[in-house]
Structure 1
Amino acid sequence: MGKKEKSKSLSDSSQQPPEVVEETRKRSASVDEEQKTNKKKSKRQSESSESSNADEKPNFFSKELFSELPLCEKTQKALQEMKMERMTQIQSRAIPALLTGKDVIGAAKTGSGKTLAFLLPSLELLHQAKFSSKNGTGVVVITPTRELAMQIYGVLQELCQYHSHTYGLIMGGANRKTEAEKLQKGVNLIVCTPGRLLDHLQNTKGFNYRNLLALVMDEADRILEQGFEDDLRAILKLLPKERQTMLFSATQTKKVEDLARLSVNFENSIFVDVPNETKLATAAGLEQGFVTCPSDQRFLLLLTFLKKNKKKKIMVFFSSCNSVKFHGELLNYIDVPVMDIHGRQKQVKRTTTFFQFCKAKTGTLLCTDVAARGLDIPEVDWIIQFDPPDDPKEYIHRVGRTARGATGSGRALLFLTPEETGFLKYLQAAKVSLNEYELPKTANVQSQLQRLIETNYYLNRAARDAYRSYLLAYASHSHRDIFNVHALDLQAVGTAFGFTTPPRVDVAFGKESKRKKVVSGKKATGTGHAFSASNPYGKRSKDDKRQFSH
């Protein structure tokens, strides 16, 4: 497991009531106050510049100023109102090259300022070309998720406040007919998700994209990871070849390189990145730790933590939509107010919740990994990983929602059972070092929880779905040498979901056991996939990279 940091208590050692994590840090009040004053003050969701006297993370800001860029007066005025002064490293490297017409392949971590790096040159292109509605669409920005698209759109709104160019948001879950009507009238700059864009390119008559000036692909690695490779290829075939291309990606994988070969003009392009001067994979202002908690106490620990940190802004990550749904319903039912966001919600609900949490000073958001990458939610105090991430990369993406920007600070806590602590060696190999916290005294409400789940039909149904999805996600974990679903104490796991006796789940097939497999009149003893306690991986094709999507 590797060397662990000195164990720290999650409960207060004084005679005061135990405070989960918050009162355990042995710091003076003056240090806490200093951290608060150094926190990002901006209410916007965009990448913002801090004042010059703030304690900045190394290598975040450059010396170059936005006012020195050859941008039109309208854009400069908007930047001044947004209080943008100094450029970040990725902005100072990418924007000047893009303003000269070069294609750019950019590599930088999320939260480094990529959004302005491509929006400013895009807007300047439209301004110089005197683009109007009759010219159709001049810039297309493709992003992997709806939430990230909404965030970019929010920044675009601020930048365009003095421009007459039209702009729009095109994404799955929104009203397609309304989108089509706007596209037919002419939308100069669109921010979109791949699937919905391809739909309009193929099926919306009157959508004029023949005058396209620039194509932006943000978080390209994530777009490809989510299975949009075929959509992107189809989009690239339909869009005009004579255009400027901006491709931004946090990682440079082989698929990203292949995408660059298809989309970028290498004769007139540059590669820009930001050297990582720190040996740590996570942000410098992030304090992170883990707590070892038995399976049957996981919910009680979460409940205790949330009750003791009501005045904080917290994000809690789960492995499935059903788990988010159940825990959201349960916590709200017992008067612990939380918001939730996951992939099965209608888009209006996701949008409303996203902006509500962004604007909130305090509150708790339960979410799946739909919110784990690229989003810039202001001033998040705590990231709680209630369910373990699939791999170290996912861990890094999750905790990247806090301690963002030049002076950002935040805290992260990972829940692990005693059997799961072997995951720490993978985190250490990925340059992630965690402190260990002692398990505090948790709220003694297990009997009330079980009574509630037993008597409330809707919560019981939600608990069954969440329990089943938890096991399926566990069974599909990348590191099944540690996260072995066949080694789980199902009674203890069920207890955390409020069950006295947990429901039966066929992990191999993902369906509750109602029938037994019969072959030639005999009951089959296996699943057909060679799953067992000694072989948790089972039979799997070397090219099969699917995950359960529950």
Structure 2
Amino acid sequence: MASVLELFTVHCSSVSVLSGGRRPRLVCEAVPQISPQQDGSRATTKRSFGRLKVQRVQNIVKESYRKIKQIDDLEDDQLNEPVISYDESDEQEVINVQNDTTKAVRSFIKSRNKQAVSSSRSSDSSSRGWGTVRSVDSYRPKTDNLSKKGEMIKANNDFFSRKSFKELGCTDYVIEALRSLQFIRPSHIQAMAFEPVIDGKSCIVADQSGSGKTLAYLVPLVQRLRQEETEGNNKPASQNPRVLILVPTAELASQVLSICRSLSKVGVPFRSMVVTGGFRQKTQLESLKQDIDVLIATPGRFMFLVNEGFLQLTNLKSVILDEVDILYKDDDFESLLQRLAGSAPVTAQYLFVTATLPVEIYNKLVEVFPDCEVTMGPGMHRTSPRLEEFLIDCSGDEKAERTPDTAFLNKKNALLQIVEQRPVTKTIVFCNKIETCRKVENALKRLDRKENSIKVLPFHAALEQESRLANLEEFRCSPTKNISMFLVCTDRASRGMDFAGVDHVVLFDFPRDPSEYVRRVGRTARGAGGKGKAFVFAVGKQVPLARRIIERNLKGHPLHDVPSAYEAMR
């Protein structure tokens, strides 16, 4: 049987970049040659950042890299792992991207009639900021050697900070609790965010998916709560939480609650609870009568409790808006912010946590909170360094009729071949619509009707919340030997959900928003050592757009100007 890549005539170009935290990437589909005159990044970036003051963006980037440098100082002589170097040329490259002065940095040689495609990067001024660069001869991807595409950067180089939790200022009981949960060293974003969060400053905490942002705000907040309680300055009260965490979905709320309870059980006692839709209000109202330290809620249920007088905010010290870019898409969210500002103490701290920070969201946040600090991790708007991305053109024969039905059939065949030829333990399949989810579920179930080797778990809004949570729990658990588990879902599963051990992510439908692309592929290759593969199915005009997104990921460019291109495509 021909492989899926042979079936859809996808060529492969492999490029290895070995410095400054960059990584080798594998991009299926040969890409056209780009010259400085043809590269449209200059004009589009300028439009996207038009509302930002240039100096402010420079200061944000410089401050982020300054913090990384401070945190990464070699203060622990016992640590001998190689260190990521953020030299001036790396910093200058990012600033140039923000200022719209980056020139084209790579030329690709396209050859659709050859099986071997080579890609190289010039060593002159166009390579400035990348350090040592080398090219790797490409090959036709085979099932047995896709992973042997070049040298991978070690996980502990680009994930962990050189600082220890002790050096950050964590107390002994917090360090012991983290150690019991197998957190030995902080990630970059955890180290960068600790000081401003524990000092009570409002700030934006932004870094790539899987970088540890939940602990980045929970650890300093919980430590501060314990210190205030010990000093007698602030104590928990019923119906009056000290910390409020707002999240977009009930599933993410349950995940954050699980992390809170884990910390509480291992030496940092505090009381946390969750209030979301889909569960009995009576039970939640009874729980609210007890003393509350941390309340985790979805916006709808939170507003109901406040409007009906079941929840007070006079004791509130900190408000966390997790996945704030998703929350802002709700039409009622700005009114929620106004209600918070009017009911919470004026001294309350606001933390905005996100894996993607669109310019329009940034502008709104700094307009309402002008003193808000910006803490950006080194992986902001980038995919994991251990992720391999494959673009598969499912358009079909140019001479044949192209309809949504034929596109679905092509994508289904590609998916089934991946399943049959590359069996793995856990795969997440993303679709744009519930109807498509159901079709994909049926196609996968037909491969193994008795579920001897394949287990298909749906996850979308058409399911009852209890069913969704049960499927999530089953997917997270270690599967039975020789069982391949598939979570077939909409973007509901991409919004902050943490899955361990996901081998493949399949973008069955191309995401509507490039930010969703980052979130979807961020469900694999997570944390310090996670690896994974993302298969991106595209048809028609989606193919050049998908190629453009992957190219910009490869170059380290931001994706802020891509949404306008997507709008033009529709």
Under TM normalisation by the shorter chain, which class is it? 0.5 to 0.7
Distance in 2 of aligned mates of 1:351 and 1:477: 35
Question: Is there any run of 5+ residues in structure 2 with no aligned partner, and where?
Answer: 1-30, 33-107, 117-140, 230-234, 397-406, 556-562
Q: Which residue matches 1:469?
A: none
Paired residues, what number?
404
Pairing of 1:479-518 with structure 2 (within 5 A): 479=566
Residue 442 of structure 2 corresponds to residue 324 of structure 1: no
Distance in 2 of aligned mates of 1:310 and 1:152: 31
The answer to whether the Cα contact below 8 Å between 1:103 and 1:265 also exists between their aligned partners in 2 is no
Distance in 1 of aligned mates of 2:438 and 2:197: 44
Counterpart AA for 1:253: V
Residue 274 of structure 2 corresponds to residue 175 of structure 1: no
The answer to whether the Cα contact below 8 Å between 1:143 and 1:149 also exists between their aligned partners in 2 is yes
Q: Which moved more, 1:294-303 or 1:93-102?
A: 294-303
Q: Give 3-state SS (helix, strand or coil) of 2:487's partner.
A: strand
Q: Give 3-state SS (helix, strand or coil) of 1:105's partner.
A: strand
Equivalent of 1:213, from 317, 325, 333? 317
Q: Which residue matches 1:193?
A: 298
The answer to whether the Cα contact below 8 Å between 1:149 and 1:169 also exists between their aligned partners in 2 is yes
The answer to whether the Cα contact below 8 Å between 2:239 and 2:289 also exists between their aligned partners in 1 is no
The answer to whether the Cα contact below 8 Å between 1:223 and 1:229 also exists between their aligned partners in 2 is no
Residue 452 of structure 2 corresponds to residue 343 of structure 1: no
Residues 339-360 of structure 1, C-alpha deviations (whole Å, 9 max, x = no match): 1101222211111111221223
The answer to whether the Cα contact below 8 Å between 1:383 and 1:413 also exists between their aligned partners in 2 is yes
Q: Which residue matches 1:23?
A: 143
Deviation for aligned residue 1:419? 5.9
1:272/1:349 CA distance change after superposition, 3 Å:
same
Distance in 2 of aligned mates of 1:183 and 1:84: 31
Pairing of 1:439-478 with structure 2 (within 5 A): none
Deviation for aligned residue 1:398? 1.1
Pairing of 1:143-542 with structure 2 (within 5 A): 143-161=247-265, 162-205=267-310, 207-227=311-331, 228-249=333-354, 250-262=356-368, 264=369, 266=371, 270-276=373-379, 281-293=382-394, 294=396, 295=407, 296-332=409-445, 335=449, 336-361=454-479, 362-417=484-539, 420-428=542-550, 430-432=552-554, 479=566
1:178/1:236 CA distance change after superposition, 3 Å:
farther
Q: Which moved more, 1:250-259 or 1:121-130?
A: 250-259
Deviation for aligned residue 1:141? 0.8
Q: Give 3-state SS (helix, strand or coil) of 1:290's partner.
A: strand
Q: Give 3-state SS (helix, strand or coil) of 2:306's partner.
A: helix
Counterpart AA for 1:106: V
Distance in 1 of aligned mates of 2:315 and 2:377: 33
Deviation for aligned residue 1:377? 0.6
Equivalent of 1:111, from 201, 210, 215? 210
1:233/1:8 CA distance change after superposition, 3 Å:
farther
Deviation for aligned residue 1:147? 2.4
Deviation for aligned residue 1:254? 3.0
Structure 1 vs Structure 2 CA RMSD: 3.3
The answer to whether the Cα contact below 8 Å between 1:8 and 1:24 also exists between their aligned partners in 2 is no
Deviation for aligned residue 1:166? 1.4
Pairing of 1:80-119 with structure 2 (within 5 A): 80-119=179-218
Deviation for aligned residue 1:58? 4.3
Q: Give 3-state SS (helix, strand or coil) of 1:212's partner.
A: coil
1:98/1:421 CA distance change after superposition, 3 Å:
closer
Q: Give 3-state SS (helix, strand or coil) of 2:328's partner.
A: helix
Counterpart AA for 1:273: M
The answer to whether the Cα contact below 8 Å between 1:171 and 1:196 also exists between their aligned partners in 2 is yes
Q: Give 3-state SS (helix, strand or coil) of 2:346's partner.
A: coil
Distance in 1 of aligned mates of 2:115 and 2:278: 45
The answer to whether the Cα contact below 8 Å between 1:61 and 1:87 also exists between their aligned partners in 2 is yes
Counterpart AA for 2:360: K
Q: Compute the TM-score of the two structures, normalised by the length of structure 1.
A: 0.66
Equivalent of 2:222, from 123, 131, 135? 123
Q: Which residue matches 2:14?
A: none
Q: Give 3-state SS (helix, strand or coil) of 1:337's partner.
A: strand
Q: Compute the TM-score of the two structures, normalised by the length of structure 2.
A: 0.64
Q: Which moved more, 1:321-330 or 1:383-392?
A: 321-330
Residues 31-88 of structure 1, C-alpha deviations (whole Å, 9 max, x = no match): 99x99xxxxxxxxxxxxxxxxxx92264422111113344444433211101212111
Counterpart AA for 1:148: L
Distance in 1 of aligned mates of 2:330 and 2:142: 36
Deviation for aligned residue 1:276? 4.8
Deviation for aligned residue 1:289? 1.0
Question: Is there any run of 5+ residues in structure 1 with no aligned partner, and where?
Answer: 10-20, 36-53, 434-475, 483-536, 538-550
